[in-house]
């Protein structure tokens, strides 16, 4: 159903199984036998396609747009009516079929030039230029296109072994408790050996993002990246800070990126203000670190290091944060400059405690970040010393 495609494009989780169920529901409602009223179409499809109450506003808006044509219901019914085979179609049927094709095939002949123009907008060369363009210099149209590309990015952190075990036929360890339990079921004569192996899980990912005035264009785009990651995997915690620390993990969980960003904007009270990196890290270390930094967590710190408090107490909080996680990765948009030097006091206080120091100012830097974190990372200070 093309209406289901519209809902899917709007962000609703509509799979092929629900589409088939919707077609069956319409047939049961009698759409293949007699004309249905508009409200019959609405309630039948909403009962099958919607799974949560918060999805209904999007469904209502899409329904009004899709059914704006008064003859669209008749064309929908023609798709559900049984087709007779083995005879040549009448001229009236051919005309009806042409109308249906014109409606549901996106008018291939009429819009061929438009699609060619649309596909030409993102050729390889233009995509390459967009990936290397600084977020701060992008136009509104380029930012919109960059957000579409960011929605497809992922952050595949490698799995880590935990202390817990799970049954596995090829496991090296014998689970004695389960083996004895299985032997009791067999009468106690034979003991079938149940083997186990360490359970592997995705490590927790914790993000601390600076939203001060100097970070504004980069923080906004990075939040779109975090929305894609948060909805792709579990165990992701996102915090933003300017003069205070704010947990926005729950807001980013919303599937619709526009709704998620609106909720984030409502939750943040210090956007584009000053920066208290040390105070914000102190609040995180005391209130949140033990809750979210377990099991080999990886921490991404997104900031330019320009602290209003001139780095006071920042070194101690960075050291405490580094000892609480497995990896501490600092993403700094100032690294886009070839002649960057670690002169600010905040930068000098933070550098000794990070494992990786990477740029984050364009699409390519986000792709490089995903590639770097997906491979094995070792604690090294060789590249960090080069910045001091």
User: For the chain, where are the alpha helices, taking DSSP H only?
Assistant: 2-9, 16-29, 38-49, 56-66, 72-80, 91-104, 112-120, 124-132, 140-150, 176-185, 216-230, 249-252, 257-267, 277-287, 289-292, 314-324, 345-350, 363-374, 382-385
For 202, the token pair is 């995705």
**Is the pLDDT assigned to residue 327 strictly greater than 70?**
yes
Pick the more confident residue, 43 or 53. Answer: 43
* Beta-ladder partners of 327: 298
Which of 33-37, 191-195, 251-255 has the largest mean confidence? 251-255
Are residues 338 and 292 part of one domain?
yes
Are residues 189 and 275 part of one domain?
no
- In degrees, to the nearest 5, what angle opens at C-alpha 155 toward C-alphas 302 and 275? 10
Are residues 377 and 232 part of one domain?
yes
Our count of domains for the chain comes to 3
Q: Is residue 219 part of a domain?
A: yes
Are residues 281 and 211 part of one domain?
yes
Q: What is the pLDDT of residues 278-290, one digit of tens each?
A: 999 999 999 999 9
User: Using CA atoms, how far apart are residues 378 and 388, in angstroms rounded to an integer?
Assistant: 20
User: Using CA atoms, how far apart are residues 209 and 220, in angstroms rounded to an integer?
Assistant: 10
The arithmetic mean of pLDDT across residues 122-132, rounded, is: 70
Q: Is residue 22 part of a domain?
A: yes
Q: Please, are residues 340 and 311 in contact by the beta-carbon 8 Å criterion?
A: no
Last residue within a domain, chosen from 153, 186, 201: 201
Q: Among 53-67, 143-157, 208-222, 351-365, where is mean pLDDT lowest?
A: 53-67
Q: Is residue 128 part of a domain?
A: no
Residue % of the chain over a pLDDT of 70: 75
Are residues 103 and 71 part of one domain?
yes
Q: Is residue 158 part of a domain?
A: no
From the centroid of its chain, how far is CA 74? 39
Expressed as residue numbers, the domain containing 210 is: 205-385
Long-range contacts of 141-144 (CB under 8 A, 24+ apart): 143/221
Q: Read off φ and ψ for residue 109, nearest 5 degrees.
A: -70, -40
CATH classification of the domain holding 364: 3.40.50.410
Q: Among 126-130, 227-231, 329-333, where is mean pLDDT lowest?
A: 126-130
* Single pTM value for the model: 0.61
* pLDDT value of residue 247: 95
Q: Read off φ and ψ for residue 304, nearest 5 degrees.
A: -90, -5
Q: Among 20-34, 47-61, 230-244, where is mean pLDDT lowest?
A: 20-34
Q: Among 77-91, 270-284, 358-372, where is mean pLDDT lowest?
A: 77-91
For 157, the token pair is 């952190």
**Is the pLDDT assigned to residue 258 strictly greater than 70?**
yes
Are residues 273 and 294 part of one domain?
yes
pLDDT interval class at 102 (50, 70, 90):
very low
Are residues 195 and 109 part of one domain?
no
pLDDT interval class at 376 (50, 70, 90):
low
Q: Is residue 124 part of a domain?
A: no
* pLDDT value of residue 285: 94
Long-range contacts of 245-248 (CB under 8 A, 24+ apart): 245/280, 245/283, 245/284, 245/287, 245/288, 246/270, 247/288
Are residues 313 and 188 part of one domain?
no
* pLDDT value of residue 259: 92
Are residues 354 and 220 part of one domain?
yes
**Is the pLDDT assigned to residue 300 strictly greater than 90?**
yes
From the centroid of its chain, how far is CA 213? 25
User: Using CA atoms, how far apart are residues 24 and 260, in angstroms rounded to an integer?
Assistant: 33
**Is the pLDDT assigned to residue 72 strictly greater than 70?**
no
The arithmetic mean of pLDDT across residues 252-265, rounded, is: 91
Q: Is residue 354 part of a domain?
A: yes
**Is the pLDDT assigned to residue 178 strictly greater than 70?**
yes
Token pair 């948009």 in the structure block, residue = 333
From the centroid of its chain, how far is CA 320? 29
* pLDDT value of residue 377: 61
Cα→Cα distances 364→135, 284, 359, Å = 11, 30, 10
* pLDDT value of residue 33: 62
pLDDT interval class at 311 (50, 70, 90):
low
* pLDDT value of residue 221: 92
* pLDDT value of residue 288: 92
Q: Is residue 130 part of a domain?
A: no
Are residues 307 and 178 part of one domain?
no
Last residue within a domain, chosen from 201, 226, 252: 201
Are residues 333 and 311 part of one domain?
yes
The arithmetic mean of pLDDT across residues 300-329, rounded, is: 88
The arithmetic mean of pLDDT across residues 242-257, rounded, is: 92
Q: Is residue 151 part of a domain?
A: no
User: Using CA atoms, how far apart are residues 363 and 129, in angstroms rounded to an integer?
Assistant: 10
Pick the more confident residue, 280 or 157. Answer: 280
Are residues 210 and 195 part of one domain?
no
Q: Among 28-32, 157-161, 262-266, where is mean pLDDT lowest?
A: 157-161
């Amino acid at each position: 159903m093309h209406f289901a495609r519209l809902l899917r494009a709007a962000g609703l989780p509509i799979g092929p199984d629900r589409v088939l169920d919707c077609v069956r529901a319409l047939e049961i409602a009698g759409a293949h036998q007699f004309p249905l009223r508009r409200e019959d179409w609405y309630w039948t499809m909403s009962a099958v396609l919607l799974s949560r109450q918060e999805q209904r506003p999007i469904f209502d808006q899409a329904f009004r747009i899709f059914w704006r044509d008064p003859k669209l219901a008749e064309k929908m019914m023609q798709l559900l009516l049984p087709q007779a085979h083995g005879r040549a179609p009448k001229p009236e049927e051919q005309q009806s079929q042409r109308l249906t094709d014109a409606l549901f095939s996106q008018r291939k002949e009429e819009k061929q030039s438009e699609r060619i123009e649309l596909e030409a907008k993102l050729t390889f060369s233009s995509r390459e230029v967009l990936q290397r363009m600084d977020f701060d210099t992008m136009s509104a149209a380029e930012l919109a296109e960059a957000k579409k590309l960011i929605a497809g990015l992922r952050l595949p952190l490698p799995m880590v072994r935990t202390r817990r075990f799970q049954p596995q036929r090829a496991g090296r360890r014998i689970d004695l408790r389960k083996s004895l339990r299985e032997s009791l079921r067999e009468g106690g004569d034979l003991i079938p050996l149940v083997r186990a192996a360490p359970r592997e899980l995705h490590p927790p990912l914790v993000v601390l993002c600076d939203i001060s005035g100097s970070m504004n264009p980069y923080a906004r785009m990075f939040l779109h990246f975090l929305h894609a990651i948060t909805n792709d995997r579990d165990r992701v915690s996102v915090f933003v800070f300017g003069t205070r620390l704010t947990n926005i993990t729950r807001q980013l969980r919303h599937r619709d990126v526009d709704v998620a960003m609106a909720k984030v904007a409502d939750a943040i009270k210090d956007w584009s203000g000053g920066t208290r990196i040390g105070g914000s890290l102190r609040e995180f270390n005391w209130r949140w670190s033990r809750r979210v930094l377990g099991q080999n967590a990886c921490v991404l710190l997104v900031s330019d290091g320009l602290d209003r408090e001139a780095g006071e107490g920042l070194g101690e909080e960075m050291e405490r944060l580094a000892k609480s996680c497995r990896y501490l990765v600092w993403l700094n948009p100032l690294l886009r400059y070839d002649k960057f030097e670690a002169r600010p006091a905040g930068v000098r206080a933070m550098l000794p405690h990070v494992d990786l120091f990477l740029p984050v100012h364009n699409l390519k830097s986000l792709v490089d970040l995903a590639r770097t974190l997906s491979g094995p990372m070792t604690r090294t200070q060789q590249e960090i010393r080069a910045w001091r």
